[in-house]
Amino acid sequence: MRFIPGCLLLLLLVSSLSPAHGVLEAWNTSFKCKCMKSVPKLGRRSMIARVAAYMPGDHCPRKEVIVWLKNRSVLCLNPESEWTQRLLINVQR
């Protein structure tokens, strides 16, 4: 008779200590900004292979625009510059 309450108590203890409730959130978010410094513009748009814009959120308090170039380098653009704004408008089309 003591076996069942003991097992239930042990199960309750193990389930309350399990970190599983936060695992998915930890896998899907990085709590750092991706860009440490940024450039105002690139020389040629033809060098760009891919563009990504990240809005401010819990991970980073500022907007970030990241471009991957065809030579496999990665750059951060200044999201406030006019050149970057025009690039984002053209990419959305």
pLDDT of 41 reads 84
pLDDT of 9 reads 80
Given a cut of 90, is residue 4 above it in pLDDT?
no
Burial class (CB in 10 A: 0-12, 13-18, 19+), 67: buried
* Domain residue ranges of the chain, discontinuous segments joined by +: 3-92
Q: Which CATH class is domain 3-92?
A: mainly beta
pLDDT tens column, 24-62: 444 555 568 888 889 988 888 899 999 999 999 888 899
Given a cut of 80, is residue 21 above it in pLDDT?
no
| pTM for the full predicted model | 0.62
